[in-house]
Amino acid sequence: VPAAACAFNDAGVGANGVGITRLAALDTRGIVAVTVDCMSARIGDARSMWDSGKISYVNEKARACGINPGQTLQVFAAVMRQAIKKHSAGVAKI
């Protein structure tokens, strides 16, 4: 089953933007993707991302779904749940 969405830590973005380079690549595959600011959640800690993660960067697919930097990862998950429900019902395309 192909992924509909993903979130990962930006790890401080890094040299040449390496922490966010996959956003565009995932866009080309039709996957909604966001990064969480490493200052808001510990790297490699999914619970930390869920509890306190703030979105730092989004790809175009995410922006089209209404996701923007500054929102929480929990908001991202709620928006994606709704989008997937609508998609499953044949009402919307993700």
pLDDT digits (tens, 9 = 90+) for 24-82: 999 999 999 999 999 999 999 999 999 999 999 999 999 999 999 999 999 999 999 99
Residue type, 58: V
Radius of gyration (C-alpha) of the chain in whole angstroms: 13
**Confidence (pTM):** 0.87
pLDDT higher for 91 or 17? 17
CA distance 73 to 50: 6
71 close to 49: Cβ distance less than 8 angstroms: no
Amino acid at 55: I
5-88: CATH, from 3.30.1980, 3.30.70, 1.10.3470, 3.30.1380: 3.30.1980
